[in-house]
Amino acid sequence: MEITVAKTAGFCFGVKRALELVQSSLESDASPICSLGPLIHNPAVVAELESKGLKVVSDIKDVKEGRVVIRSHGAGPSIYDYASEQGLELIDATCPFVKNVHELALMLKKEGYQVIIVGENDHAEVIGVLETLSGEALVVNDPRQLDSAYIEYKVGIISQTTQDIATFQQVVSEVLPKTKECRIFNTICLATTQRQQETARLSQEVDLMIVVGGKNSANTKRLAEISAQHGTRTYQVESPDELSPEWFKGVRKVGVTAGASTPDQHITAVIQQIQALGGTGCG
């Protein structure tokens, strides 16, 4: 059984940056750091950071003093306002690509465009962008949601940075005939695009795909969906013990990829387990 590992598998720039910021802050000062939600969508990494002093909270109002980190997903204005009023020390790990989405959203709104965000309305990044727009945007992650939606004369379309390009294109195609002026910003980040393209390519060359990464990671789930959409049997795992020997029966080629929040050591551990189950090579 031949194993091929995607070159783009694993940490993206934004996640690496957020982790480095928090790790160096924890090392330079022993006081705890609160994170609004898990710093990255990988439970094992978060557990390790918690052992070093990171505290995950779901509501910033639970933080009355000390340091608070804004994740790579970014946050809406109310979080910045609260931190400033409360005198909290802010560690802003918002990915610059996410900041760009906020800026474009605001610019479109100021210029009178109805903003359409292609993304998931319960994802932290989208929640933050929506708040920047005071809730005045339409969020869709399926073009069918546009069937009953009111589309204005001037529309601006942006995307959650980890959205898949096919859905983005479908939404654009649905909106165009319904409006007169449309500005389109493809804000899917390069790291996402490269991972998705490589996953699509690799999944067509193998009999089985293993996608490594947190079950709560949107970008990892998306890679598994893209692989499955190409008709390839696909499993998403967080750790090697989830791999079932049954999956590999009769498989000649297996592809491995990983989400942008999956550390290298998790990918390596999964590859080693596949090798133990009869896999060879690791190209």
Q: Nearest to residue 183, comparing CAs of 165, 161, 157, 160?
A: 157
Q: Is there binding between residue 189 and ligand SF4 (CB under 6 A)?
A: yes
Q: Is there binding between residue 42 and ligand SF4 (CB under 6 A)?
A: no
103 is known as an active-site residue: no
What's the one-letter identity of residue 4?
T
In angstroms, the CA 232 to CA 191 distance is 23
Closer to ligand SF4 by CB, 94 or 203: give it. Answer: 94
In angstroms, the CA 43 to CA 163 distance is 22
Q: Nearest to residue 192, comparing CAs of 164, 221, 228?
A: 164
Closer to ligand SF4 by CB, 40 or 182: give it. Answer: 40
**Which of these is catalytic: 50, 89, 125, 174?**
125
Q: What's the farthest any 2 CA atoms get from each other in the chain? A: 61
Q: Both ends of the chain: CA-CA distance in Å?
A: 12
Q: Is there binding between residue 257 and ligand SF4 (CB under 6 A)?
A: no
In angstroms, the CA 119 to CA 127 distance is 10
In angstroms, the CA 210 to CA 270 distance is 9
For ligand SF4, the binding residue among 162, 232, 234, 257 (CB under 6 A) is: 162
Q: Is there binding between residue 139 and ligand SF4 (CB under 6 A)?
A: no
Per-residue contact flags (x/-) with ligand SF4 for residues 103 to 132, judged by CB under 6 A: ------------------------------
For ligand SF4, the binding residue among 38, 42, 75, 97 (CB under 6 A) is: 97
Strand blocks (E) in 103-192: 114-118, 138-140, 154-159, 181-184
Which listed range, 79-87, 94-102, 163-171, 231-239, lies at the site for ligand SF4 (CB under 6 A)?
Answer: 94-102
Q: What count of residues does the chain have?
A: 283
Q: Is there binding between residue 13 and ligand SF4 (CB under 6 A)?
A: yes
Residue 227 CB: number of other CB atoms within 10 A?
27
For ligand SF4, the binding residue among 75, 191, 200, 212 (CB under 6 A) is: 191
For ligand SF4, the binding residue among 25, 192, 227, 232 (CB under 6 A) is: 192
- Kind plus residue range of the DSSP H or E element containing 2: strand 2-5
Q: How far is the CB of 93 from ligand SF4 (least distance, A)?
A: 9
Q: Nearest to residue 222, comparing CAs of 141, 139, 152?
A: 141
Which listed range, 12-20, 26-34, 169-177, 234-242, lies at the site for ligand SF4 (CB under 6 A)?
Answer: 12-20
Q: How far is the CB of 190 from ligand SF4 (least distance, A)?
A: 7
Q: Is there binding between residue 260 and ligand SF4 (CB under 6 A)?
A: yes
Contact residues for ligand SF4, defined by CB under 6 A: 12-15, 72, 95, 97-98, 161-162, 189, 191-192, 219, 260
Q: Where in the sequence numbering do the catalytic residues fall?
A: 125
